[in-house]
Structure 1
Amino acid sequence: MLATLENQLERLAHGGHAALLTQTRQGIEKEGLRVSPDAHIAQTPHPRGLGSALTHDFITTDYSEALLEFITPVHDTPAEALAFLNQLHAFTYRQLGDEQLWCASMPCEIPSEEAIPIAEYGSSNVGRLKHVYRQGLKYRYGKMMQTIAGIHYNFSLPDAFWPVWQQLEGNSDSLQAFRSAGYFRLIRNFRRYGWLLLYLFGASPALSASFMAGRSHSLEQLDPDTLYLPHATSLRMSDLGYSNKAQADLQICFNHLDTYAESLHRAIHTSHPAYEQIGIKVDGHYRQLNTNVLQIENEYYSDVRPKRVTQSGEKPVHALMHRGVEYVEVRNTDINPLLPLGIDNAQADFLNAFLISCLLGQADDLDERECGLVAENHARIVNRGREPGLLLHSRNGERPREELAEQILDKVLRTAELLDDIKGGDAHQRAVQAQRDKVANPELTPSAQVLNALRESGLSHSEWVLEMSRQHRSSIEPQLTADTADRLQQAAVESLDQQAELEAAPAPDFADYLADYIAG
């Protein structure tokens, strides 16, 4: 990959086009539970002051009524995206009363699945569809795993980059096909090397004991209310609570758009016997949208996804097939409870350099054997990532974690140097150096820092995260600007009006609406 990457960077630089690599587009989606003052999942409805979770552009809910999701617009720099995310937090705090916004990926105290309220989106057909989909997740996987939160980092390069790179590559495909192939090249390399991000930024080595109540596990006891693994990096990204043989057998292909779309299309149109036993509508109540392996595309979980903004009523897989890949969504980012927003600018700068390196790196496909090695490396890192002497798979057999990490960082550094040469300063190179320090000293990783902070505090996981959540609120809430407050208040009012209009408009019976949606 290094020779390929250096060659690509050199060609872009010599052609006077390297500045296009600095014109990245990024947006951030961040989830977070609302919790009561005693660190239990909130039982209150989505605050009306935040607007409609169905129609608001920036503030919605994920699985649970208590699981907020912030969505920034696409920005020209990571700093701008983070600044907007900061304002979403500050505005939301003003609407929470004595509730807190949980600042960790693994959830707060949840006494039982019955305590997890499924998100409500009103009486319109699209609102009912979103709710029924979540009912299906409950019946298929249980509600507990759906309370885990994370950060999604959306990344793309400017439109002007693609014809330039296509010409340098001597490619004669349509520009749409070339761009989609380029993003899948990024995705393939992300899957090869994404384990490094889990090591560097994983921040969920421990969790509340209530999360595993009544289930067998191999976690150790840190205190009576906290479970952990001593060298874990990201239990969020492990298989805890996520047992889904149907998805494990899907073998979604990430090599090319056509095979990816075909395998997803097959999954959302193939009935699964276990889900047939659940039923669709039982005693007058919908349990799931259908009995297929996937109810909709979003049910398939992966650590990176090809994405395109959809049109009204359009399915994601159809948008990709018709108009190609527009951006990639990185989904393996934990919320770092030590950071006010869960992510900071240095991490985003590194992510951009890493993703550009993946895009311009090796172009070969992932075969079945390599996919197996990728999965094994992932499992080793999330559960044992900081273990001394840990070995990981490579094309040259098993090698020490540090050796493979340094090889990847060497590549990312080449990209970082070029970005800094163009933009001035050394922000990207400093971001890479910070990651080298973590490779040399695992105690500098967020997962180690979280465990050390837990031990030093003498608090349980839930008590400590609650205290950190309060501290972050105190630092962020006063930063809300008057202009942003007015803008978000207006957006909340408009979103409520939009939901009311949807619910008042003539509409087909939900059963007919659902049948049309599934058939589409």
Structure 2
Amino acid sequence: MAESRHSVFRQFAASDWRGFLKGVEKEGLRVDRNGFIAQTPHPEALGSTLTHPRITTDYSEALLELITPVCSSTGEMLESLRNIHRFVQQNLGDEVFWAASMPCELDGDASIPIAEYGSSNIGRLKHVYRQGLAVRYGRMMQSIAGAHYNLSLPDSFWQTWQAALGNGQSLKDFKSDEYFWLIRNFRRRSWLLMLLFGASPALDASFVAGVNHDLSRFDNRTWYGESATSLRMGDLGYHNNAQASLNICFNELSTYTQTLDRAIHTPWPAYETIGTRRGDEFIQINTSVLQIENEYYSAVRPKRTTEREEKPIQALETRGVEYIEVRCLDLDPFSPVGVNQSQIDFLDLFLLDCLLTDSPRIGDAECERLDDNYKDVVAKGRNRELTLCRGGTRVPVGEAAAEVFDQLEPLADLLDSWNGGETYRSALAAQRRKLPENASWPVPSSEVVEAMQQSGLGHRDWVMEQSRQHQQVLREEGLDADVLAAFRTMTTESLAEQKAMEDAENQPFGDFLEQYLKS
């Protein structure tokens, strides 16, 4: 019998382990003093959303996205994220940075301004893509925010790991295969992350105005799922019928890129009816199931940094997988930066174990079971009677979680013995405490509902109070002079770079788009 991957890893010397490389992309709405989505343009003091390396927008002009650099420790990453927040908070005036994943008060699609990126062709492409999301799915879904966690391992690890496994592939192909090995196990266990970190059990009534749903009334302005962990990741969140037909295969890089590419080139009748233009205005990039790769919603993605005008599929096929993007994380409304240290350290442990555990290919039947487990925890994960399908049998969700924790414990011990300290044992213990045997589970989704009940406030007003408290803390902390100067330089340089791109533009957008689609 072949030696297990865990056994091979335990034979590493402490000096063979170089730790994780990590970063986070954190979204959040700008809202006015009354808790309504901001109607103002992106603050000029925050620079160009097209070219700024740390601060941009996601779907809406009001939906900020803050991006850390690649960091080598959780502490470094969180300090970087906190500095970006401090700078943003200094430049919001009387607006507030919304602390929750489910949005503030809205007034239909028209109240959600689509992000603008200037007059360059790249900037216009980003805007047209978002117009396409609006005509396909409506703007309401696009007002939801989350945190994306990016993780990779350094080449020094991959070289040692490849030699230990006796693998003779090129390093590029080996890394891609290993990242997909990790992804397959992530899909088997991603339900656990929704239980531990789902934090969007409630929403403002304006989000579901005129929509049929099965939520319960909290007060006259708030609906909630009585056992839900994450409305953001449920049917009211990132969900659409066209994508349900995609059957994107996560077994290996070639099948993943092929199925994505097919979706980008497969016409969808409803989108063909809409067309790509409304008069002279471009309203979507194409009429296929997907306009571009980023339109595909999934809990995890294999990623490769792209060059300007390069498509994600091209980057992956040419240079292989560079890192994993975990996309299912709700914002932590109790944290001023939306994530917390024990969560990140646990994710590192969880993802490394996904790499070290046996990971056979996922067939259609297993794929369906995994999707059902994930959806069940999203919709009713706080129901202690919930059971999950595992190996053909039903297992209580708490028991299934405890088994994962037990599996992670030896790995936490090993990493802490190499690094010194209690980082991973502490992170694991923090998650175990969320599932006590004889009490209600203090998972974030429960804590949100309890905090609203104790305050007597509905979703909008409770989140607004949290957001103001975070703003006060971050503004009082301020920034060191050199850090502040660096952010101001990024603002100036990003605005200048966007202007230079626009001044140099001489190709009609229609010609640019045609060339882009053919590339």
TM-score under structure 2 normalisation?
0.97
Measured after TM superposition, the shift of residue 214 of structure 1 is 0.8
Provide the residue aligned with 1:14 in structure 2. Answer: 11
Instruction: Give a deviation string over 1:237-282, Cα, whole Å, max 9, x none.
Output: 1111544221100000000000000001111111111100011012
Which amino acid is the alignment partner of residue 8 of structure 2? R
Provide the residue aligned with 2:473 in structure 1. Answer: 475
Q: 1:28 aligns with which of 24, 27, 30?
A: 24
Instruction: Give a deviation string over 1:307-351, Cα, whole Å, max 9, x none.
Output: 011112110011001110000000011101111211111111100
CA separation in 2, counterparts of 1:183 and 1:23? 16
1:50 and 1:492 in contact (8 A); partners too: yes
3-state DSSP class of the match of 2:25? strand
Provide the residue aligned with 2:492 in structure 1. Answer: 493
Which amino acid is the alignment partner of residue 502 of structure 1? M
CA separation in 2, counterparts of 1:257 and 1:428? 30
CA separation in 1, counterparts of 2:308 and 2:136? 28
Q: 2:454 aligns with which of 449, 453, 456?
A: 456
Measured after TM superposition, the shift of residue 209 of structure 1 is 0.7
1:133 and 1:289 in contact (8 A); partners too: yes
3-state DSSP class of the match of 1:443? coil
Q: 2:95 aligns with which of 83, 90, 99?
A: 99
CA separation in 1, counterparts of 2:18 and 2:445? 30
Change in 2 beyond 3 A, CA 1:210/1:21: farther
CA separation in 1, counterparts of 2:184 and 2:275? 37
Instruction: Give a deviation string over 1:85-132, Cα, whole Å, max 9, x none.
Output: 001110001110000000000000001211100000010000000000
- Map of 1:297-446 to 2, 5 A cutoff? 297-440=293-436, 441-446=439-444
Provide the residue aligned with 2:157 in structure 1. Answer: 161
2:18 and 2:156 in contact (8 A); partners too: no
Measured after TM superposition, the shift of residue 287 of structure 1 is 1.1
1:304 and 1:328 in contact (8 A); partners too: yes
3-state DSSP class of the match of 2:248? coil
3-state DSSP class of the match of 1:438? coil
Q: How many residues align?
A: 516
3-state DSSP class of the match of 2:24? strand
Provide the residue aligned with 2:503 in structure 1. Answer: 504
Provide the residue aligned with 1:170 in structure 2. Answer: 166
3-state DSSP class of the match of 1:431? helix
Q: Give aligned-pair identity as a percent.
A: 51
3-state DSSP class of the match of 2:212? coil
Provide the residue aligned with 1:39 in structure 2. Answer: 35
Measured after TM superposition, the shift of residue 434 of structure 1 is 1.4
1:63 and 1:146 in contact (8 A); partners too: yes
Q: 2:216 aligns with which of 210, 217, 220?
A: 220
Measured after TM superposition, the shift of residue 431 of structure 1 is 1.0
Measured after TM superposition, the shift of residue 497 of structure 1 is 0.2
1:141 and 1:242 in contact (8 A); partners too: no
Instruction: Give a deviation string over 1:216-252, Cα, whole Å, max 9, x none.
Output: 1001100000000111111111111544221100000
CA separation in 1, counterparts of 2:341 and 2:12? 30
Instruction: Give a deviation string over 1:19-65, Cα, whole Å, max 9, x none.
Output: 54452000010000000000000000000000000000000000000
2:58 and 2:65 in contact (8 A); partners too: yes
3-state DSSP class of the match of 2:59? coil
Which amino acid is the alignment partner of residue 447 of structure 2? Q
Provide the residue aligned with 2:60 in structure 1. Answer: 64
CA separation in 2, counterparts of 1:219 and 1:161? 47
2:331 and 2:338 in contact (8 A); partners too: yes
CA separation in 2, counterparts of 1:473 and 1:412? 36
Q: 1:236 aligns with which of 232, 235, 242?
A: 232
2:21 and 2:154 in contact (8 A); partners too: yes
TM-score under structure 1 normalisation?
0.97
Unmatched tracts of structure 2, length 5 or more: none
Instruction: Give a deviation string over 1:66-101, Cα, whole Å, max 9, x none.
Output: 000000000000111110100111000111000000
Provide the residue aligned with 1:52 in structure 2. Answer: 48
2:409 and 2:428 in contact (8 A); partners too: yes
Measured after TM superposition, the shift of residue 7 of structure 1 is 3.6
2:18 and 2:157 in contact (8 A); partners too: no
CA separation in 1, counterparts of 2:497 and 2:413? 47
- Map of 1:48-197 to 2, 5 A cutoff? 48-197=44-193
Which amino acid is the alignment partner of residue 309 of structure 1? T
2:234 and 2:375 in contact (8 A); partners too: yes
Provide the residue aligned with 2:276 in structure 1. Answer: 280
2:384 and 2:398 in contact (8 A); partners too: no
Q: 1:447 aligns with which of 440, 445, 448?
A: 445
Instruction: Give a deviation string over 1:392-451, Cα, whole Å, max 9, x none.
Output: 010141111111111111122222111111111112101111111112254311111000
CA separation in 2, counterparts of 1:330 and 1:283? 39
Which amino acid is the alignment partner of residue 106 of structure 2? I
CA separation in 1, counterparts of 2:483 and 2:420? 30
3-state DSSP class of the match of 2:178? helix
Which amino acid is the alignment partner of residue 460 of structure 1? G
CA separation in 2, counterparts of 1:281 and 1:365? 42
CA separation in 1, counterparts of 2:255 and 2:6? 29
Which amino acid is the alignment partner of residue 485 of structure 2? D
Measured after TM superposition, the shift of residue 11 of structure 1 is 2.1
3-state DSSP class of the match of 1:332? strand
CA separation in 2, counterparts of 1:242 and 1:104? 16
CA separation in 2, counterparts of 1:21 and 1:355? 15
2:122 and 2:309 in contact (8 A); partners too: no
1:89 and 1:477 in contact (8 A); partners too: no
Which amino acid is the alignment partner of residue 126 of structure 1? I
Unmatched tracts of structure 1, length 5 or more: none
CA separation in 2, counterparts of 1:167 and 1:392? 38
Which amino acid is the alignment partner of residue 14 of structure 1? Q
Which amino acid is the alignment partner of residue 13 of structure 1? R
Which amino acid is the alignment partner of residue 470 of structure 1? R
